[in-house]
Structure 1
Amino acid sequence: MSHSGKPESVEADDPHDPRRVAVWRLRSRGCWDDAAALLAPYAADDPDTALRRAALLVERCMFTAAGWAEAEDALRAAEAVASSDDERGGAACERGNLAYTATVLGARDRSDEARAALGRAAALLDPAAPGRALLDFRRGLVAEHLADSPQAARAAYRRAHAGAAARGDLLLCSFTWRHLAGLALRDGDRAEARHGFAESLRIRVELGYLVGTAPALAALADAEPEPEAARLRAEASRLFRLLGGVPTWLAAQLDRAPAA
């Protein structure tokens, strides 16, 4: 199962903004450095751009288990230019995600920092703030993977899913579908798991989120019988190789025996 936490929102949410579209296209193909470079000239003075740049580099850490120093630098820069509670809350949410990522990938145990930062984000973000659904999702990740509390995780994922759907954040919906499906599979409900994994995959394909498609295929394979599971894993392996072996943690999942 994936432990991934996504950054901000889909960069291509404004098709009339060429820079957002370009950033999304690079990000969706795993070119995080190039995407961050497009934002760098504007990040020094604009809190939103600074946070989006930091989020890209944190996502690179999640997919590659590398680039920690660059992500930390970008995050500190975003924290420095944040001036409102929502901006500070967004930066705290991203710091929590970086600490969570370092912990689950075994780079360094920063679980206490992850919890503290996400708690700080919850205190700063207005309940109706755009970043609230993402915060709920990340608190679900911490509950599931650091606290081993699936009930708390499910409640947080459901709040995140409702918030993402209300705001039209399709990529976050893909993540919430996937993690709710993972909990269903953990409980032995294969039908519910297949539905959630299939919805997650469908959204990623429709959005063109190529770098996240192989993990979605592999997750669905875990809930499918043969021979469909083998077909899905083969397609996931093809994309995994095409993208140069990212996400790095997917290799172990692809090597596992197919689900019965």
Structure 2
Amino acid sequence: MIAGGTDLLGELKEYIETPKKVVNLKSIPGLDEIKADSSGLTIGALVTLTDIAAHTTIQHHYTVLAEAAASVASPQIRNVGTLGGNLCQRPRCWYYRNPDIICLKKGGDTCYAIEGLNKYHAIFGGGPVYIVHPSDTAPALIALGATVKIVGPNGDRTMPLEDFFVLPDVNPQRENVLEPNEVLTEVHVPQPKAHTKSTYVKIRERGSFDFALVSVAANFEMNGGNLQQGKRRPRWGRSYPLAFQGS
């Protein structure tokens, strides 16, 4: 399945993925909309990262998500890259991305990052493969308590975004729970509580157009100028196979 194609086209060109057919999701109506109501925001999987970053409601009330979307790659990529694609993209591990290497992630027997070049691999929670998830929007959405809707031939299901991702020790070949013929269709972000503040911080080697070395998405409930005890949801990214809770 393809939407913006910013990840899949690279895999097709390098023969990492060799599907017989590719289904274009961009023609499905209704998946490119952002809807706000009293329960929060519903963001279609085909909404571009540019539209998320520029959306006034998201900027004002879901700041961490607007900042995360704005930090992705370059303006050209954000113009075509979608929220669904950013959440479902495959790892950037150079062993996985090399068409001549059959690593554990691609069904082989060895994760070459263990003894090889692993500068950008997992510090925490790795094994048996040591990938890190490249998504910028995932830590932000998890910090906001988002849920996702998945649709397939057996119906639809909804789950916390945090449960959408799969650790390598559960399935080293996959990063999420999507079954064959299933597709992520929308993300729901609950209405933030009053006096909530959030932000996204991304550390990278280049000033722009780069994946994070480490990132932090933080969502805090404030009481006056003070942080309410127990009301914080920081999530780390790019040091772990998933976005995980900080302290």
Structure with higher RCO (Cα < 8 A, 6+ apart): 2
TM-score (norm 2): 0.25
TM-score (norm 1): 0.24
Q: In proportion to residue count, which structure has more helix?
A: 1
